[in-house]
Amino acid sequence: MIEFPRRFYKDDTFPFLWHYVLDVKGTEHRQILEIGSGKGDFLCQYAQKFPENRILGVEWDTYCAKTTAKKLQKLKLENAMVIRGDLFYFLRDLMPANSVDEVHMYFPDPWPKRRHQKKRLLLQEGFLELICKVLKPGARPFYWATDHKEYNTLALQSFRNFPKAKILEENTAQPTCGIETGFEKKYKKEGREIFRSVIELRAES
């Protein structure tokens, strides 16, 4: 199981009270969540570019998760890790509330066949509420990208219908921090249109 950082400190108000708790509020490290990290292209490059941040990737596919883990180990990136599993329930059951600074979700499986479309994570009931639960209080960015036009249209509509969301840049955003994912490079070579957006999600304290 993933180990989140903890801190041991003396209470400022009660001199006989000490705390040993998750260090997620007021930490000097920014906590980044990538949904569907694939083979780790974005996760590894981001971790290299921002060694002061902590980045967690969650990936369902075992092969991709292992590939990412091997890359992280080879690059000796101690500020990043990957979890193989079901993100929805990880957010619901294990991820600490008010712990994440920003969220990235790039080129998720669009599940184009009608009978599979219920698997589209972003469109699942309660998913955006779970994201807001784990975000730190205030306005936090959600970075989104896909090459699938229909999924993109439905995703943006979900953000518009969600009262805690505001679309800041629609379909024309540049690669985050200049980092392109492996899928993005492949799709651009194939001439596919890329839809990138930045959404502001507001988490309550």
59-72 pLDDT, tens per residue?
Answer: 999 999 999 999 99
Which range in 5-9, 21-25, 74-78, 195-199 is most confidently predicted, on average pLDDT? Answer: 195-199
pTM of the model: 0.84
Mean pLDDT of 179-193: 92
Q: What share of the chain is helix, strand, coil (3-state, %, to 5)?
A: 35, 30, 40
The CA-atom distances, in angstroms, between 65 and each of 9, 38, 47, 197 are 35, 7, 16, 25
pLDDT of 11 strictly over 70: no
Q: Are 193 and 147 in contact (CB under 8 A)?
A: yes
Active site residue 61: no
Residues 23, 28: Cα–Cα separation, whole Å: 10
Q: Say whether pLDDT at 58 is over 90.
A: yes
> Catalytic pick from 12, 101, 109, 147?
109
Nearest of 79, 100, 93 to residue 203 by alpha carbon = 100
Of 75, 19, 28, whose CA–CA distance to 47 is shortest?
Answer: 75
Measured distance CA(22)–CA(131) in Å, rounded: 19
Q: Looking at residues 108-113, what average pLDDT do you find?
A: 79
**Mean pLDDT estimate for the chain:** 88
Calpha distance 157→144 (Å, rounded): 13
Query: In angstroms, rounded to a whole number, what is the distance separating the alpha carbons of residues 195 and 145?
Result: 5
The rounded distance, in Å, linking the Cα atoms of 141 and 71 is 26
What phi, psi does 42 have (nearest 5°)? -65, -45
pLDDT of residue 23: 56
> Do 47 and 55 contact (CB within 8 A), yes or no?
yes
Residues 6+ apart with CB under 8 A from 148: 110, 112
Q: Residue 103's beta-bridge partner residues?
A: 33, 142
Burial 179-193 (b: 16+ CB within 10 A, else e): bbbebbeebeeeeee
Smallest CA-to-CA distance from 168 within 177, 179, 156, 182 is with 156
Helices (H), the chain: 41-49, 62-75, 87-93, 127-134, 149-161, 182-189
